Amino acid sequence: MQNNEPIRLTQTVKKGGCAAKLPAGELQSVLSGLEKFRPKNLILGYETMDDACLWDLEDGRYIVQTLDFFTPIVDDPFDFGAIAAANAISDIYAMGGKPSTAMTILAFPASQLPMTLIRPLMEGAISILSKAGVALAGGHTIDDETLKLGFSVSGFVDKNKAWTNAQAKPGDALILTKALGTGTITAALKKGEAKEEWVKGAIKSMTTLNDVIDALSQIEVHSATDITGFGLAGHATQMASASDCVFRINPEALPILKGANECLKLGFLTRAHATNESYTAAKVKWELSSSNDSLWPDWKRKIILDPQTSGGLLIAVPAKQIDKAISAIQKAGFESAIHIGYVESKALNADPYNLIFT
């Protein structure tokens, strides 16, 4: 690589962003039955594959802890740093908490990339951390063959205000706060086939903080999760399963980033599209009429499998509060936030599905 040639970070890795996650099904199988120490203060661990853990501080609060890192999903180092920070912080918001501190995890290929690149990476990250009111308190770096950046983030939440992915109730309405499609658009970017406006839209979405906590302070939030590498299908089925419910979603209601449908139709996919499909195959059912089915061919159904990086929150609230909740979230800056479906009782559905598109 010549000194005057722009560095495209996406060309330094085989896979980027949350699409680089290990397959959810295989990971569950490997970890099944693992013996672990479980003190009484650990209120929530990884048993329901939730977004973060909850530790009882015994003062009326939980400390919320998470860790997230990945390889470059965009070419610009500032943007990559900002996306990595927003993505890690999102797990705290998904638990109803407010983030407070962050520690950096950085693997840097010093023999392949100039060390000066670290500064814009961290400037991008700090721009988001500062916006969220998060103090960067330190971190750890190593020399590695592949660039990876992420953060361990801690926050706090009052016990009676904590959200988990296991408390959705029949009759709840489901809200998705961000549009889908970052996986396929960035796959096209890596191939040099994504339009600039598509990439800009995806970056704007990925660098938007999922801070809806204050906006929903007057709403009875029952459950929440953030949509990342396992796609809407994966994270929604995890939430429905943990809540012992069925989510019925209208695919026509799903917000989709500009350019995502074009990229899917052209076949710009990641390995995660296939692993997410395998993971959710037995849990997802399509109940579309023949007239609607033509509007959702196989390539378009891939949007529910699309691995999101710093995606939106999926939130379950009482149906009677849906309009108020949507209005509050949109006023907080989430223009794509929309009501996408409802929660049903598992007992009313004789089949094994957790997620039904109808």
Least confident span in 21-35, 178-192, 241-255: 21-35
- Each residue's pLDDT tens digit, 265-289: 999 999 999 999 999 999 999 887 6
Is 245 one of the catalytic residues? no
pTM assigned to the model: 0.93
Say if residue 4's pLDDT is above 70.
no
Alpha-carbon torsion angle 281, 287, 292, 297, nearest 10: 10
Backbone angles phi, psi at 46, to 5 degrees: -105, 15
Say if residue 186's pLDDT is above 70.
yes
Percent of the chain with pLDDT over 70: 95
- Residue 161's pLDDT band, with cuts at 50, 70 and 90, is very high
Average pLDDT over every residue of 92-121: 97
Active-site residue (options: 18, 53, 245, 263): 18
Average pLDDT over every residue of 79-86: 98
- Domains present along the chain, CATH in parentheses: 9-161 (3.30.1330.10), 172-357 (3.90.650.10)
Say if residue 345's pLDDT is above 60.
yes
For 337, residues 6+ apart whose C-beta sits below 8 A from its C-beta are 175, 176, 177, 178, 255, 312, 326, 329, 330
Percent of the chain with pLDDT over 90: 80
Look at residue 37 in the predicted model and tell me its pLDDT: 83
